[in-house]
Amino acid sequence: MNLAHLLATSAERHAERVAVRLDDRAWSYAELDGLVEDAAALLVDRGVRPGDVVGLMLPNVPQFAVAYYAILRAGAIVVPMNVLLKEREVAFHLGDAGAGLLVAWEGFAAEASAGAEAAGTDLLLVDASGSALRGAGTAPIVERGHDDTAVILYTSGTTGTPKGAELSHGNLSCNAEVTAGLLGARAGDVLLGALPLFHSFGQTCGLNAAIGTGATLTLLPRFDPEAALELLRRDAVTIFEGVPTMYMSLLAAAGGEPVRLPDLRVCVSGGAAMPGPVLRAVEAALGAPVLEGYGLSETSPVASFNQLDVGRKVGSIGTPVDGVEMRVVDADGMPLPAGEVGEIVIRGHNVMQRYRGRPDATAAVLRDGWFATGDLARVDEDGFFFIVDRKKDLVIRGGYNVYPREVEEVLYEHPAVRQAAVVGVPHPELGEEVGAAVALEPGASTTPEELRAFVRERVAAYKYPREVWLVDELPTGPTGKILKREIVVPTLGRR
């Protein structure tokens, strides 16, 4: 299905239902659809043609949905961009994608304007009134094919220059439909839109899944745990989607006490692994199951999920979703038996078309229809997948493989630990030593020596972190995922 039809179809079926809400203002499906048609007419007047590329640099506001679906309605391709990008980053995204126009929020005008000028891209600034998106005339939906590119999502660049994953209308519409089915989403549901809409998680599982089912997306432009709890209560949210750091913040805001949320039916966690102790604490506090899923920008993003009708396992990323296959393979691409660690490869309707303008990078990850994720995992006898780590995150200490997530899980069991990240520290003899950066719970007290001893008692001798250092906060990305590449390792003494 052409993604533009998600909104148009729901507007026909649920015209008076609330599509999007921000604070005390609500937009019905009919109203939103009308604003999208006006905006599409404006884009056409500005010269946007089918197949053109348009950058979109807006926060979690209703105008994001208006511009997003308007670009698609005009038959163009959306490049969602983080609103915190600086001039050179803006210029890179626009230039790499070949964008002729950037639609940006006026609050970020300085960097957006400078980046657009550097890339030779036209700029359209939008404010809370949305008046800049109002055109005149009609703009029928331009039909696009199943395999035509709809959105270009840029990877985070953890292994070099960001790459633009081209996702088709078929990729994204199928993934939104499958996700909505997994959540049991339906007209009348309320989803909390706290995840950034420019990110694949918030876009597919939040915006497109909600719009495609006639649900309401209540927006939170910037995540704040107290504000999120207020929205959960006020808007009778039934489905909450977040990353582990968001849930940890909610736990802290709740003060460890149960939160009365009678309408909340299910919580979804993704973007990073949620430690088992945290998951159990969240379920106890919010009174709803937390289902972990897995995916990447290149897979639209959902690839696997803990499904209520199939069952779930704490610590697992679940089983492949409908229409998707997953395997754990060795270095030669051969499937491994249950219990052995290898790389996850994925095949299905969710896998991207290509990396834009990078045939070599595309060929390196797309092999015979299978997408190589770079994630290490094992699968059990029941078909449940368990992430072990990123290939790049693997610490090799004196020839022994140490999977950071395993050590992090142990650190999270310590009552004083709020955040933990295990990384490799250069070592002249071993090659790498195991290191851990730890942020403590507010008011908690412990020492690196105590934490080192805590882990040493619970894992093999070669796995525990000899180097432990305390920090106020660990660096995180736009979805709250800990960015290990930005962790500064202090000068430490080997132990």
Banded pLDDT at 494 (limits 50, 70, 90)? very low
How far, in Å, are 92, 362, 459, 468 from residue 393 at the CA level? 26, 22, 18, 17
Measured distance CA(485)–CA(495) in Å, rounded: 23
Tell me the per-residue pLDDT of 120-157, one tens digit each, with 9 for 90 and over: 999 999 999 999 999 888 899 999 999 999 999 998 65
Tell me the per-residue pLDDT of 217-245, one tens digit each, with 9 for 90 and over: 999 999 999 999 999 999 999 999 998 88
Query: Which residue, among 120, 133, 169, has the nearest Cα to 58 in the 3D structure?
Result: 133
Beta bridge partners of 420: 438
Highest mean predicted confidence (pLDDT) among 17-26, 248-257, 451-460: 17-26
Query: The whole model's pTM is what?
Result: 0.84
Quick one: pLDDT at residue 165?
A: 97
Average pLDDT over residues 413-432: 89
Instruction: Specify the range with the lowest mean pLDDT, choosing from 24-28, 148-152, 402-406, 484-488.
Output: 402-406
Residue 495 has pLDDT above 90, yes or no: no
DSSP 8-state assignment for residue 486: G
- The DSSP code sequence of 12-24 is HH-TTSEEEEETT
Tell me the per-residue pLDDT of 365-398, one tens digit each, with 9 for 90 and over: 999 999 999 898 999 999 999 988 777 787 878 7
Banded pLDDT at 70 (limits 50, 70, 90)? very high
Average pLDDT over residues 13-21: 98
Query: Which residue, among 56, 118, 74, 77, has the nearest Cα to 354 in the 3D structure?
Result: 77
Task: Answer for the pair 356, 164: CB distance below 8 angstroms, yes or no.
Answer: yes
Beta bridge partners of 425: 433
Measured distance CA(349)–CA(493) in Å, rounded: 50
Tell me the per-residue pLDDT of 265-321, one tens digit each, with 9 for 90 and over: 999 998 777 888 889 999 999 999 999 999 999 999 999 999 888 888 988 999 999
Quick one: pLDDT at residue 355?
A: 97
Task: Answer for the pair 290, 268: CB distance below 8 angstroms, yes or no.
Answer: yes
Structural domains in the chain, sorted by start: 4-183 (3.40.50.12780), 394-486 (3.30.300.30)
Percent of the chain with pLDDT over 90: 77
Q: Tell me the backbone φ, ψ of residue 405, rounded to 5 degrees.
A: -60, -40
Q: How many alpha carbons fall within 13 Å on the CB side of residue 208?
A: 32
- Is the link from the previous residue into 162 a cis peptide, with omega within 30 of 0? no
Residue 212 has pLDDT above 90, yes or no: yes
Task: Answer for the pair 78, 143: CB distance below 8 angstroms, yes or no.
Answer: no
Residue 337 has pLDDT above 50, yes or no: yes
Tell me the per-residue pLDDT of 347-366, one tens digit each, with 9 for 90 and over: 999 999 999 999 999 999 99
Quick one: pLDDT at residue 193?
A: 86
Quick one: pLDDT at residue 103?
A: 98
Residue 343 has pLDDT above 60, yes or no: yes
Quick one: pLDDT at residue 492?
A: 65
Instruction: Specify the range with the lowest mean pLDDT, choosing from 108-112, 154-158, 350-354, 456-460.
Output: 154-158
Instruction: Give the orientation angle of helix 4-13 with respect to helix 62-73, to 10 degrees.
Output: 110
Q: Tell me the backbone φ, ψ of residue 392, rounded to 5 degrees.
A: -70, -25
Average pLDDT over residues 406-417: 92
DSSP 8-state assignment for residue 436: E
> DSSP 3-state helix, strand, coil percentages of the chain (rounded to 5)?
35, 30, 40
Banded pLDDT at 493 (limits 50, 70, 90)? low
Tell me the per-residue pLDDT of 152-192, one tens digit each, with 9 for 90 and over: 999 865 445 789 999 999 999 999 999 999 999 999 999 99
Average pLDDT over residues 76-91: 90
Q: Which residues contact 250 (CB under 8 A, 6 or more apart)?
A: 225, 228, 229, 242, 259, 282, 285, 286
Percent of the chain with pLDDT over 70: 98
| Both structure tokens of 71 | 């670009």
Query: Which residue, among 451, 375, 444, has the nearest Cα to 408 in the 3D structure?
Result: 451
